[in-house]
Structure 1
Amino acid sequence: MVLLVFVDLDPQLTALGALGGFFALRTGVPPRGPLPTLARAYARPRADTPEEVYGDPMTFRVGKVAKSIGAPEARVAASVAQQGLAARFWSIALGSAVVHGQLPDLDPGLLRWDPDAGAPDDLWLAEVRARPVTELDEVVRAGHLVPLSAALRDRYRVSPGLLWGNAGSALAGAVRQLDRWALGHGRPEAGERARTLAAGLFAHPDLAGTLDPRTLRRRSCCLYYRVPGGGVCGDCCFDRAPRPAPGRS
């Protein structure tokens, strides 16, 4: 019998920060002033908002990532940006499920994002409202990854398989980090809970088949190998970086 010990969901979500940088979620008003919500970032760009600092937040973020890593094309930067956000969403939700036995409501209209920040992505929750762990898929996959994927496909023509592969890889990464934390803090039941929750999430058709179940290597590539000096990731479907097609740099 596994004994699960939970800590109540606190108004500042301070316990999440102890799990690592990707798990931290700040609350209240950012010191830099109002930031765009993720609902705004997922929406189609509007021409009637010239007063917004970032214009289209998603385009701004992809441009920043492209410049930072020297991406040779926008879809590479879009892939890296999406995987960073996916890692944040899964980490926050799984971490809260393991520590609190509840989720914070990550409604895109409540969650503010600084597209000009570094990594991990800077996220601020306007209001802490609890949701049951049974809604984890609804909160993350349906609430964020589906509209995020749609926004990036619309702007950059990134393939759905690549984006869901990124999401699957990010989910597996969050579970590994939680497992390390659980073992290091004498909480093996927490790691077991994270793995059990992830197995349920991977059963959804969007995520099923994104990783090899035996090796956890992904079945698609995030394109990071196309970044100068990037190479392949630890869970890449390739053993070595593919050679560019003739005529492509």
Structure 2
Amino acid sequence: MEAASEESVRSTLEEIAEFGSFFAPHLGGDPAGWHDVSADYARGFTDLVEATAARYDTAELRIGASIAQLSHAARLWSPVVGAVLTRGVIPDLTRLDRADDDSRLRLPTLAGWHAGTEGQVAALLYDMVVRRHLEPFARGLRVKVAPGLLYGNAASAVAEAGRAVATARPELAPRAARLVNLLLATGGLAGKGSLTSPELAFRRTTCCLYYRVPDGDKCGDCALLDK
């Protein structure tokens, strides 16, 4: 695939920021207050896992890990899915920073590619988001969480990213559905859920454990809804 210019990547990401906060990573600027997210993977994202468990008032760190990973997955999928569907541009997430004091992400440099075929795009996005980020996240966790649950979170997050784009730009719904379906058939995402409507409603085959927090409930895509 052909390389995209810095300006093309920047203008695309600035356009899709209106879709929601997950679509709007911080772009470049002063590196103070940010660090390479790969360091967090090596440390098991311990600070965020513990903070998330505390915020939801649960002593089960695996719940904190699941919710933190689901949020992180959404911050990874949203900008790349939004960018490729709206402008045919894929931002390069290979090098990514995280804020020192919260879960926000930053692209220290702006680079990427112009989209090729739908199959090429799905393969690149899976490699970049799942293999380069979410799998290292999972390997570093200090608390045991079922791999299928974490892949299920990743599947839910990519479906939600596609649905958000389709909601904001209804004319993109068919393309969003095709891309999400290709990703849901790839690697560890296969068998973790499926789209159930043209509006990209999604039903997963695993549970993120949110129902176990005090006053928690089953999410709209939860595999346990009928149980």
Aligned pair partner of 1:116 in 101, 115, 126: 101
Aligned pair partner of 1:60 in 47, 50, 63: 47
Specify the alignment match of 2:20 in structure 1: 20
Specify the alignment match of 1:199 in structure 2: 181
Contact 1:12-1:26 within 8 A present in 2 as well: no
Pick closer, same or farther for the CA change 1:86–1:226 going to 2, 3 Å.
same
CA–CA distance in 2 between the matches of 1:25 and 1:111? 10
RMSD (CA atoms): 2.2
Q: Deviation per CA, 1:141-188: give whole Å up to 9, x if none.
A: 222111112222xx11101011011111111111111110012xxxx0
Aligned pair count? 210
Compute the TM-score of the two structures, normalised by the length of structure 1.
Answer: 0.77
Contact 2:90-2:112 within 8 A present in 1 as well: yes
**1:165 pairs with 2:152:** yes
Compute the TM-score of the two structures, normalised by the length of structure 2.
Answer: 0.85
Structure 1 residue 116 displacement after superposition:
3.0
Aligned pair partner of 2:81 in 94, 117, 123: 94
Which protein is richer in strand relative to its size? 2
Contact 1:61-1:115 within 8 A present in 2 as well: no
Specify the alignment match of 1:236 in structure 2: 222
Contact 1:30-1:124 within 8 A present in 2 as well: no
CA–CA distance in 2 between the matches of 1:13 and 1:205? 27
Specify the alignment match of 1:72 in structure 2: 59
Which protein is richer in helix relative to its size? 2
Specify the alignment match of 2:112 in structure 1: 130
Aligned to 2:169, what secondary structure does the other structure show? helix
Gaps of 5+ in 2: 1-6, 116-120
Structure 1 residue 212 displacement after superposition:
4.3
Q: How does 1:213-232 map to 2 (within 5 A)?
A: 213-214=195-196, 216-232=202-218
Contact 2:155-2:184 within 8 A present in 1 as well: yes
CA–CA distance in 2 between the matches of 1:169 and 1:115? 26
Aligned to 2:216, what secondary structure does the other structure show? coil
Structure 1 residue 72 displacement after superposition:
2.7
Q: Deviation per CA, 1:47-83: give whole Å up to 9, x if none.
A: xxxxxxxxx7x10111111111112310000000000
Structure 1 residue 115 displacement after superposition:
5.6
Aligned to 1:157, what secondary structure does the other structure show? coil
Contact 1:8-1:100 within 8 A present in 2 as well: no
Taking only the aligned residue pairs, the percentage that are identical comes to 36
CA–CA distance in 2 between the matches of 1:98 and 1:213? 17
